[in-house]
Structure 1
Amino acid sequence: MTTLLVIAKEPRPGRVKTRLTPPYTPEQAAALAAAALTDTLRAVAAAPASRRMLVLDGRPGPWLPPGFDVVPQCAGGLDERLAAAFAACSGPALLIGMDTPQVTPELLTVEPDGCDAWFGPAEDGGFWALGLAAPDPALLRGVPMSRSDTGAVQRARLVAAGLRVRDLPPLRDVDTATDAEAVAATAPHGRFAAELARVRGERARAGVRR
């Protein structure tokens, strides 16, 4: 069975989802990040796994469900931090971030039958999921992150290593306010959608007062 990893930042104002500000305040952006992380961890908790790990920059909060091993992120760029997360795994592993609260347990249910890697492309050109049947940190080190071609470069790295890659459905990351609206519409019953509705109401009330 697969180890499921989530790499995340503690949702503190000013440290997460800064591209949501504006229109949202840092506190509202952090609340949306916490909701996205809550939905993500719930999906991971409901998916079959041999181990569940939260690779965290910061401290755990009330959004953390039971059953997760919490390990700190290492120093360095995102490629180094992702590589280190895989280095902690001894068998098949699938890693996701905290930016896709619409993810489901079904999407995370993967088996290494007939493939060596799983790749989940993000609509912005990155990737929302990366899985390796035999984790090799070298497959991630040096991949340029946070670019429109990050996903293409990472997938090409897998193919160049001779791995058989199975593609997962593309998902949209929550980076901007437009992304937030679109993602909430695809998962209207999640914590993220509820928090977005609350924040919308908060902003509307503030507008009336002004």
Structure 2
Amino acid sequence: MSAREPARTVVVLAKEPVAGRSKTRLHAEFTPEQAADLARAALEDTFDAVLAVPDVARVLVLDGDPGTWVPSGFDVLHQVTGGLDRRLAAAFAATAEEHEGPILLVGMDTPQLAARGEGGHGLDLGAVDLTGADAVLGLADDGGFWAIGLPRGDRHFYDSVFHGIPMSTDTTGQAQLDRLREFGLRVTLLPTLRDVDLPDDARAVAHAAPGTRFATAWATATGEPAPTASAARHRADDAADDLAAGDLGAAAPSEEPDA
């Protein structure tokens, strides 16, 4: 490894934001163009979060063609064809061929990563420790996962980690966690986040991420006021009050899912 080679890599796995192809599950309440605008905003917020991490190599693994929305500082690789399990394995393998050290991969559906100001629910990706465990996994509210970090390995290792995991189900995250543990890997769990799949998710994430591009795009699409930091604080206070009053529905997720 050269003296200038970063010690780790952050990968963004994404789809080109194109009307009719992006965020089609939002079409129940948004036009295809609005859904694509929301997808692009979420992706650009994700780029912001990754660009804020110092001393890392940055890679975009893209389904589609790169446009002016790809910032400088990212190497661009193209996704392979096939299911998400195979695309994840190939993304890690291709990145490991070009870069040293552990790899953290995030999707494009958690723009709240960029909301690190007052009232935001952002997460400092730079604080994710890829050396204190064999793997890290960020579970999503819907049962999937929004991030996964693994050591540098060969193609066979990544194929073994991902191939056959049922993707896009409410048990995907648990299945991936079980697979990692089957390999004897020590797994650190990141905070559970809500990702943007459905219109209700878009509303919730926009309000959890005041000041982000996604929150602005959501306000533009809905005609509602842009979410503010003060409103986010009030919702957090209300949730804390509900929890103190014994409302189990407001309880925070447990540290680990049930095995």
Query: Normalising to structure 2: TM-score of the pair?
Result: 0.75
TM-fit CA distance, 1:182: 0.4
**Hey, what does 1:91 align to over in structure 2?**
101
Q: How does 1:1-210 map to 2 (within 5 A)?
A: 1-88=7-94, 89=96, 90-104=100-114, 106-135=124-153, 136-137=157-158, 138-201=160-223
1:201, CA displacement in angstroms?
Answer: 2.1
Q: CA deviation at 1:103?
A: 1.1
Tell which deviates more after alignment, 107-116 or 69-78.
107-116
Looking at structure 2, the residues matched to 95 and 33 of structure 1 have their Cα atoms a distance apart, in angstroms, of 18
Q: Percent identity?
A: 56
Q: Which amino acid aligns with 2:174?
A: A
| CA-atom RMSD in angstroms | 1.4
TM-score after normalising by structure 1: 0.92
- Rg: which structure is higher? 2
Letter of the 2:106 counterpart:
I
**1:21-51 superposed Cα distances (whole Å, 9 cap, x missing partner):** 0210101100000000000011111113431
Q: Distance in 1 between matches of 2:162 and 2:75?
A: 22
Give unmatched runs, 5+ long, in structure 1. 203-210
Runs of 4+ in structure 1 deviating by more than 6 angstroms, as ranges, are: none
Report deviation, 1:110. 2.4
Secondary structure (helix, strand or coil) at the match of 1:6 reads strand
Query: Secondary structure of 2:12's match?
Result: strand
Q: Distance in 1 between matches of 2:109 and 2:126?
A: 15
Could you tell me how far apart the structure 1 residues matched to 2:126 and 2:104 are? 8
SS at match of 1:169: strand
Task: State the Cα deviation string for residues 49-95 of structure 1 (Å, max 9, x = none).
Answer: 43100000111122211100000000111000000011021420000
- What count of residue pairs does the alignment treat as equivalent? 202
What is the one-letter code of the residue matched to 1:189? G
How far 1:108 sits from its partner (Å)? 4.6
Q: CA shift at 1:106, angstroms?
A: 1.0
- 1:186 Cα deviation after fit: 0.9
Contact 2:134 2:150 (8 Å CA) reproduced = yes
